[in-house]
């Protein structure tokens, strides 16, 4: 085991991909000279040169479209979008072009493109830099959506994503970049299945991304109160691993979904719907969810914290459900 940060794990994943496959390029705002908005590509311009590390103009619509064209032309582009909020400027390219090309070409063309973007709140960057829109992308057929929450997944998910013949969107919660953890050697990751991060028998805490660590902290606190919580990390948001969700709920007979997205029309709602569709008669209580408040994420620190899912909210939801 080697201890490393999420940022360094992602950097090593990108470096490995660039070294292993000459078709891989990295492009986006400030990925070259500046070294990436979150310092993930620091030093890459000197190491790989400007043909493969491409600084782009501040036009998400333009450079995501260029990435699609490069993928159609035989390259394996990794396109970095600074934050999920700005990805909306490229929504047409992602949703109406990349996601649909294989279908609309009758299978003649694929778009082997990886789009990385930071997501999530907790850093006092206010509403235009803090939202969690993973559920929007998970709604769209034709793309795979990943949310690595551990250093192992940050290190291991990129290479298999680059082998996929269709577009993949990777969400990196910005609060995780400084997080440190143990990185196994060799490191591999699964881009097909959810993963149980903690075993339990009384309730399933189902989550992804930055909320995984809050769910694990909540499970630890609940254990001290005599409640055994299983924590399921979804990891792959499209296609959802329905079998893993149902298996977890059947073990514990209760489910709380933790999602930093808003409650209305959320990914949490989809997970709850699948639980009810597939495991209704296994439940001892109605499923519950802990989501962000229905407001733009505030700038003020105390208001930002109040708007987001937090450990006390998760613990309270479980205690209401179990009656303990």
Residue 103 confidence class, pLDDT cut points 50, 70, 90: very high
Are 59 and 107 found together in one domain? yes
Are 152 and 219 found together in one domain? no
**Tell me, what CATH number does 7's domain have?**
3.40.50.970
Are 254 and 165 found together in one domain? no
Domain assignment of residue 110, yes or no: yes
Query: Is residue 186 predicted with pLDDT exceeding 80?
Result: no
Domain assignment of residue 209, yes or no: yes
Tokens of 280: 């209704």
- Which of 3-17, 78-92, 178-192 shows the lowest per-residue confidence on average (mean pLDDT)? 178-192
pLDDT (average), residues 17-36: 96
Q: What percent of the chain has pLDDT over 90?
A: 93
Are 56 and 113 found together in one domain? yes
Are 175 and 103 found together in one domain? yes
Are 89 and 170 found together in one domain? yes
Catalytic residue among 12, 60, 134, 172: 60
Note the pLDDT of residue 131: 93
> How many other CB atoms sit within 10 Å of the CB of residue 179?
18
Are 204 and 171 found together in one domain? no
Domain assignment of residue 188, yes or no: no
Are 162 and 32 found together in one domain? yes
Residue 187 confidence class, pLDDT cut points 50, 70, 90: confident
Note the pLDDT of residue 122: 87
> What total number of domains does the chain contain?
2
Q: How far is CA 315 from the centre of its chain?
A: 23
Domain assignment of residue 189, yes or no: no
Strand order in the sheet with 255-262: 195-198, 229-233, 203-207, 255-262, 288-292
CA dihedral 189, 191, 193, 199 (to 10 degrees): 30
Q: How far apart are CA 169 and CA 155, in angstroms?
A: 15
Domain assignment of residue 135, yes or no: yes
Q: Is 2 strand, coil or helix?
A: strand
Are 155 and 229 found together in one domain? no
End-of-domain residue from the set 158, 183, 208: 183
Query: Is residue 188 predicted with pLDDT exceeding 80?
Result: no
Domain containing 258 equals 195-322
- Which of 134-148, 179-193, 200-214, 290-304 shows the lowest per-residue confidence on average (mean pLDDT)? 179-193
Domain assignment of residue 116, yes or no: yes
DSSP state of 298: P
Note the pLDDT of residue 1: 73
Are 133 and 221 found together in one domain? no
Render pLDDT for 271-310 as a digit per residue (tens, 0 to 9): 999 999 999 999 999 999 999 999 999 999 999 999 999 9
pLDDT (average), residues 138-158: 97
End-to-end CA gap in the chain: 38
Residue 184 confidence class, pLDDT cut points 50, 70, 90: confident
Are 154 and 266 found together in one domain? no
Domain assignment of residue 190, yes or no: no
Give catalytic status of residue 60 as yes or no: yes
Provide φ and ψ at 246, rounded to 5°. -65, -40
End-of-domain residue from the set 183, 213, 229: 183
Strand order in the sheet with 76-81: 53-55, 24-28, 76-81, 114-119, 168-173, 144-146, 236-238
Residue 123 confidence class, pLDDT cut points 50, 70, 90: confident
**Tell me, what CATH number does 264's domain have?**
3.40.50.920
Are 64 and 170 found together in one domain? yes
Catalytic residue among 8, 129, 260, 270: 129
End-of-domain residue from the set 157, 183, 209: 183
Render pLDDT for 234-281 as a digit per residue (tens, 0 to 9): 999 999 999 999 999 999 999 999 999 999 999 999 999 999 999 999
Give, in order, the Cα–Cα distances in Å from 39 to each of 35, 87, 114, 178, 262. Answer: 5, 19, 18, 11, 29
Residue 2 confidence class, pLDDT cut points 50, 70, 90: confident
Q: Select from 184, 186, 206 the least CA-distant residue to 197.
A: 206
Give catalytic status of residue 173 as yes or no: no
């Amino acid at each position: 085991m080697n201890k490393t940060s999420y940022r360094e794990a992602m950097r090593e994943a990108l470096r490995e991909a660039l070294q292993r496959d000459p078709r891989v390029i990295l492009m986006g705002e400030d990925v070259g000279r500046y070294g990436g908005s979150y310092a993930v590509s620091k030093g890459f311009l000197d190491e790989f040169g400007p043909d493969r590390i491409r600084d782009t103009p501040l036009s998400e619509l333009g450079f995501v479209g260029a990435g699609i064209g490069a993928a159609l032309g035989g390259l394996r582009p990794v396109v970095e979008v600074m934050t999920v909020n700005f990805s909306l400027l490229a929504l047409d390219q992602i949703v109406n072009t990349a996601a649909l090309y294989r279908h609309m070409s009758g299978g003649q063309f694929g778009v082997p493109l990886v789009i990385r973007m930071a997501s999530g709140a907790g850093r006092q960057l206010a509403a235009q830099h803090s939202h969690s829109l993973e559920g929007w992308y998970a709604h769209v057929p034709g793309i795979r959506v990943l949310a690595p929450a551990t250093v192992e997944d940050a290190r291991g998910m990129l290479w298999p994503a680059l082998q996929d013949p269709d577009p993949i969107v990777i969400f990196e919660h910005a609060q995780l970049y400084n997080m440190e953890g143990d990185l196994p050697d060799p490191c591999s990751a699964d881009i097909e299945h959810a993963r149980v991060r903690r075993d339990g028998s009384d309730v399933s805490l189902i989550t992804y991304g930055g909320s995984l660590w809050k769910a694990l902290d909540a499970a630890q606190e609940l254990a001290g109160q005599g409640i055994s919580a299983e924590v399921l990390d979804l990891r792959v948001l499209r296609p959802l691993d329905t079998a893993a969700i149902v298996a977890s709920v059947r073990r514990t007979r209760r489910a709380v979904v933790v999602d930093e997205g808003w409650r209305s029309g959320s990914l949490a709602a989809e997970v709850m719907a699948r639980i009810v569709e597939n495991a209704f008669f296994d439940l001892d209580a109605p499923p519950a969810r802990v989501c962000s408040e229905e407001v733009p994420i505030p700038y003020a620190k105390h208001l930002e914290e109040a708007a987001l899912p937090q450990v006390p909210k998760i613990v309270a939801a479980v205690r209401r459900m179990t009656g303990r």
